[in-house]
Amino acid sequence: MYCPYCHTDNSRVMESRTSEDGTTIRRRRECVNEACQRRFTTYERVEQRPLMVIKKDAKREEFSYDKLYRGVMKACEKRPISTEQVERVVEGIAQRLRIDFEQEVPSSIIGELVMDALRELDGVAYVRFASVYREFRDVETLAKEVLSLLTETSDKGSA
Ligand SMILES: [Zn+2]
């Protein structure tokens, strides 16, 4: 497996872990190039029929794990959130979609799942994602969302 950083075409498997439902094997790898030695993750899955995402305009698009990953990663940019945490969020959502939806899933469901997960993880990442996803029409809607989040956070803190 080639290194995504320096493109050396060999890497060493450090650790392999099978997901709870047994459908995925996650491997931590390390680049064998001594000047690089960076670590990255690969996933091995059973090939399944593609899950189609129904978009708002009713067009279908094949579900993309990478696209979901990039979306979550973008929301988490410059936040104290590790790559591992992002992977866990995305893996959890992908797993849930595979179980609950066999062939088609509305994009709105995926958006809601991401928002739920980010809400738990990081307030800023959540608001970022929600502001793009929900296309907040005005500052007022956004402010309301932020306010409800702050209230929740302080509730959590006092409990
Ligand atoms: Zn490398």
- CA 31 to centroid of ligand 1, rounded, Å: 5
Sequential pLDDT tens for the chain (159 residues): 889 999 999 999 999 999 888 888 999 999 999 999 999 999 998 776 788 999 889 999 999 989 999 999 999 999 999 999 999 999 999 989 988 998 899 998 999 999 999 999 998 898 888 887 776 656 666 677 777 776 765 555 444
pLDDT at 144: 73
pLDDT at 152: 67
- CA 70 to centroid of ligand 1, rounded, Å: 21
Instruction: Give the burial class of 139: count Cβ atoms within 10 A of its Cβ; 0-12 exposed, 13-18 middle, 19 or more buried.
Output: exposed
- CA 129 to centroid of ligand 1, rounded, Å: 31
pLDDT at 136: 60
pLDDT at 158: 47
pTM listed for this prediction: 0.61
- CA 28 to centroid of ligand 1, rounded, Å: 13
- CA 30 to centroid of ligand 1, rounded, Å: 8
- CA 86 to centroid of ligand 1, rounded, Å: 21
Number of helices (H) and strands (E), helices first, in the chain? Answer: 5, 6
- CA 43 to centroid of ligand 1, rounded, Å: 18
- Counting Cα atoms < 13 Å in the Cβ hemisphere of 110 gives 28
Q: Cα(117)–Cα(124) distance, rounded to whole angstroms? A: 12
- CA 54 to centroid of ligand 1, rounded, Å: 37
The domains of the chain are located at 1-47, 49-158
Contacts of 45 (CB under 8 A, 6+ apart): 23, 24, 25
pLDDT at 142: 67
What are the tens digits of pLDDT across the range 79-94?
999 999 999 999 999 9
- CA 130 to centroid of ligand 1, rounded, Å: 35
Cβ pair 27, 42 in contact under 8 A = yes
